[in-house]
């Protein structure tokens, strides 16, 4: 036998031995797997697979703001989940999307398979990524995470990886119609323990102090339309930062929301002018339609940029994040479909040093605020959270609602999301028949519409 044949025979022997060992290991794995399945079958003997039996939307407006909650019921008696689907500007279409479509589509689906349910529901409408359908999907998704937490007897943040901080740091709103009033609000917030404040003068775009516009004198537009004077807003914001810094010191972190209401060149100049006052972030300086301007903005200023509350589509946020054009992602998680996609956004941000700053205004239900906080507790690249205002009325409708203490959100540590819904209390505050939501109706001096 020559050397080549000897090596060949040796290799065949080794292969046979390895295959034999693999076979033994494979048999052991199969045996263990079978034992696990038998134990699970014995524990659930006589119980049907856990399935969705009903999906319904519940609307309430305890403070005149339409809040939409999705309730997912299962074939396990008493086991249900709750999710936030609030889109107040189009609340009734969300109600229809849930009650007329998801209710039929989701019945019979496996409650455990959250990702699968999300994907199949997302694509079911064929056309996707709109705010109405995304909010309906969010309500379903958050409710399924609520159920999974209840079944596991754990808060949702445990299922997302556990805590990376003891509580959720927040910023609070300190806007007003005069600089002196804003300063007083900031000082009061500091006394309450807040370390971050958002400052606005005269509302978004300073519409409350912009005066009487020419378009109204000419009888153009609607009486309800608001006026924004760009110069008043830009100069007032510069003066505001200067005076608040002077009066309140350097320790307090200051945020500001442009709300996409100025032209890109004005937004860039404003950020450059505010840089000396060290803002924590400037929010939404550009609209989603002007996404590519973020590249130039990043080159012009070191001011941290927060962006995203108007984003619905992954193609809107991936480019600014992966190019490091923004510092904080401000997505409204029900606008993109719930916890499942929000966790993917947060993980994406971790690779590009983009921190989370989820949108958390008054038109988010306490369930939605709790969902924000569960993600905030779990992800490493958390930045800041907009503080909710949990009134007694809200807490009566939503037992277990998160609370804010010393500037931190503290959640109910109960299994699941930790927030319940008192449906009888919710019924006392029906949503209005007409939904005009006129705060978005803003015009320039000559009547040109300004996008919020």
Q: Mind telling me the catalytic residues?
A: 204, 259
- Within a 10 A sphere around the Cβ of 153, how many other Cβ atoms? 10
Contacts of 104 (CB under 8 A, 6+ apart): none
Q: Which helix (H) or strand (E) holds 187?
A: helix 179-191
| Helix (H/G/I), strand (E/B), else coil: 367 | helix
E-strand ranges in 109-262 read 168-173, 196-198, 226-227, 253-257
Query: Which string of DSSP letters, residue by residue, matches 30-58?
Result: HHHHHHHHHHHHHHTTTPPPPBEEEEEEE
The residue assigned the tokens 């999301």 is 417
The residue assigned the tokens 């609070």 is 172
The residue assigned the tokens 């039929």 is 104
Contacts of 408 (CB under 8 A, 6+ apart): 167, 168, 169, 170, 193
What are the Cα distances from residue 194, in Å, to 84, 186, 252, 283, 304?
26, 9, 8, 19, 20
């Amino acid at each position: 036998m020559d050397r080549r044949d000897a090596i060949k025979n040796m290799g065949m022997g080794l292969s046979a031995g390895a295959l034999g060992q693999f076979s033994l290991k494979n048999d052991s794995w199969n045996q263990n797997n079978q034992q696990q399945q038998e134990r699970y079958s014995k524990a659930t003997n006589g119980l049907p697979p856990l399935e969705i039996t009903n999906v319904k939307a519940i609307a309430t407006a305890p403070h005149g703001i339409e809040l939409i909650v999705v309730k997912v019921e299962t074939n396990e008696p008493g086991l249900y989940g709750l999710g936030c689907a609030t889109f107040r500007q189009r609340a009734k279409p969300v109600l229809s999307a849930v009650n007329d479509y998801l209710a039929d589509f989701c019945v019979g689906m496996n409650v455990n398979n959250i990702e699968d349910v999300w994907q199949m529901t997302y694509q079911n409408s064929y056309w996707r990524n709109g705010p109405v359908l995304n909010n309906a999907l969010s309500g379903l998704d958050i409710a399924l995470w609520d159920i999974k937490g209840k079944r596991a007897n754990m808060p949702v943040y445990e299922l997302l990886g556990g805590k990376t901080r003891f509580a959720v740091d927040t910023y609070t709103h300190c806007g007003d119609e005069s600089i002196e009033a804003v300063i007083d609000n900031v000082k009061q917030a500091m006394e309450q323990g807040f370390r971050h404040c958002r400052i606005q003068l005269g509302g978004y775009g300073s519409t409350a102090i912009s005066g009487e516009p020419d378009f109204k004198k000419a009888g153009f537009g609607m009486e309800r339309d608001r006026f924004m004077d760009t110069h008043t807003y830009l100069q007032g914001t510069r003066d505001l930062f200067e005076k608040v810094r002077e009066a309140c010191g350097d320790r307090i972190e200051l945020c500001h929301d442009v709300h996409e209401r100025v032209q890109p060149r004005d937004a860039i100049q404003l950020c450059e002018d505010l840089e000396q006052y060290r803002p924590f972030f400037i929010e939404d300086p550009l609209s989603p339609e002007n996404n590519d301007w973020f590249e130039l903005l990043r080159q012009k200023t070191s001011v941290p940029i927060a962006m995203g509350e108007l984003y619905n589509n992954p193609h809107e946020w991936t480019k600014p994040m992966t190019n490091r054009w923004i510092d904080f992602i401000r997505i409204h998680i029900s606008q993109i479909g719930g916890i499942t996609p929000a966790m993917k956004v947060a993980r994406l941000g971790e690779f590009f040093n983009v921190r989370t700053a989820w949108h958390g205004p008054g038109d988010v239900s306490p369930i939605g605020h709790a969902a924000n906080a569960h993600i905030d507790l779990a992800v490493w690249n958390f930045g800041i959270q907009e503080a909710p205002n949990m009134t007694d009325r809200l807490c009566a409708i939503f037992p277990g609602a998160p609370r804010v203490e010393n500037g931190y959100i503290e959640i109910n540590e109960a299994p699941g999301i930790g927030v319940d819904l008192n449906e009888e209390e919710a019924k006392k505050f029906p949503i209005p028949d007409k939904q005009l939501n006129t705060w978005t109706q803003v015009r320039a001096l000559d009547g040109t519409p300004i996008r919020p």
